[in-house]
């Protein structure tokens, strides 16, 4: 194994270069001059290089010595940062949190979430990245993100999660729809082919709709492809089909001013769970659970989930 000098000897080297005097350096390092001299000599011997040319009158750093001083400074700075990071581990709520959120959640609750957390933890800096579940999970496992807000259940490895609350998936359609007869009595089996509008593959919302609502066949799913709930709403508004919209988006006003109706019965099992996800190796499990409790309180104590829909509603 290659020789690795101690940090203490690197400190001697850097301080000696700064002060250019053995006596002053020894005093600054709180060691005897003989200890300092022995440390530098041992460093030179183990490295096989002369770092300092010295005689009884003066000393001069060699070009190699000067270059190694620069590298030693970088190593010492990194070591200090290493220790600082460890010391601040118990100051989680005064640091930076890199948060990933999926696009079918972010626009509807994230502003309220960030406002709530900024009040509870004013020193916590939150950086947000919006993306689909798979890319976010890849970044989480690569330690590029710390925490995710996604819809559960979602298949993944090496992560832990907690569920915050249930988000109902409401069936919506134009109030004068040609598809009205096909959704009577919550029986979608009579819907014509290509009449169900969903987000494109890759969006977990589509997966959750298909997995929790087994009331229509694949032939009934429209080939229309979009990654935007707003585009789905426009299609439903023009009676191009029916769809399922998260309750959180409806509460946020996505249907306001439209001729779109919500089926009064939520079709029982049509839902998704909104949850927090982090690496199972993370040391901040307790802190993430605290964050989750505050976000849950926001739903229980505020009107985030109780906003009145001002569009149409099927009685």
Structure tokens at 125: 């800096």
Answer for the pair 247, 304: CB distance below 8 angstroms, yes or no. no
Cβ-based neighbours of 26, under 8 Å, separated by 6 or more: 32, 33, 35, 36
152 pLDDT exceeds 90? no
Q: Which domains are delineated in the chain?
A: 7-88 (1.10.10.10), 95-315 (3.40.190.290)
pLDDT at position 91 is 80
- Three-state SS at 115: helix
Query: Parallel, antiparallel, or unpaired: how do β-strands 260-262 and 159-174 relate?
Result: antiparallel
pLDDT at position 221 is 81
pLDDT at position 308 is 40
Q: pTM higher than 0.75 for the full model? A: no
Answer for the pair 177, 237: CB distance below 8 angstroms, yes or no. no
Omega prior to 302 cis, within 30 of 0: no
| Model pLDDT for residues 154-191, shown as the tens digit of each residue | 877 889 999 888 888 888 899 988 888 777 666 677 78
Of 275, 140, 278, 151, residue with least CA distance to 203: 151
| Model pLDDT for residues 79-134, shown as the tens digit of each residue | 887 876 676 666 888 888 999 999 989 998 899 999 999 999 999 999 999 999 99
| Model pLDDT for residues 212-241, shown as the tens digit of each residue | 665 566 787 878 878 788 899 999 999 998
Q: Greatest CA span in the chain, whole angstroms?
A: 103
pLDDT at position 220 is 78
């Amino acid at each position: 194994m290659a020789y690795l000098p101690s940090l203490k000897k690197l400190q001697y080297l850097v301080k000696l270069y700064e002060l250019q005097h053995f006596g002053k350096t020894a005093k600054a390092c709180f060691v005897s001059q003989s200890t300092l001299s022995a440390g530098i000599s041992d460093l030179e011997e183990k490295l096989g290089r002369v770092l300092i040319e010295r005689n009884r009158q003066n000393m001069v750093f060699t070009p190699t010595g000067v270059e190694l001083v620069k590298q030693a400074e970088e190593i010492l700075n990194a070591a200090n940062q290493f220790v600082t990071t460890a010391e601040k581990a118990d100051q989680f709520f005064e640091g930076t949190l890199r948060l990933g959120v999926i696009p079918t959640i972010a626009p509807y609750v994230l502003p309220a979430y960030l406002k709530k957390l900024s009040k509870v933890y004013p020193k916590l800096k939150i950086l947000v990245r919006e993306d689909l579940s798979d890319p976010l999970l890849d970044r989480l496992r690569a330690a590029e993100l710390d925490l995710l807000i996604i819809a559960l259940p979602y298949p993944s490895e090496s992560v832990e999660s907690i569920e915050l609350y249930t988000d109902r998936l409401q069936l919506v359609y134009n109030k004068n729809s040609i598809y009205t007869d096909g959704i009577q009595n919550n029986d979608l089996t009579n819907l014509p082919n290509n009449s169900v509008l969903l987000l494109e593959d890759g969006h977990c919302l589509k997966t959750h709709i298909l997995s929790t609502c087994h009331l229509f066949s694949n032939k009934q799913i429209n080939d229309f492809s979009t990654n935007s709930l707003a585009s789905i709403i426009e299609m439903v508004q023009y009676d191009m089909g029916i769809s399922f919209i998260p309750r959180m988006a409806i509460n946020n006003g996505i249907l306001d001013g439209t001729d779109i109706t919500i089926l009064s019965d939520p079709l029982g099992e049509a839902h998704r769970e909104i949850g927090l996800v982090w690496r199972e190796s993370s040391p901040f499990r307790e802190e993430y659970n605290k964050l989750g409790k505050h976000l849950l309180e926001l739903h229980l104590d505020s009107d985030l989930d109780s906003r009145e829909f001002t569009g149409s509603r099927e009685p």
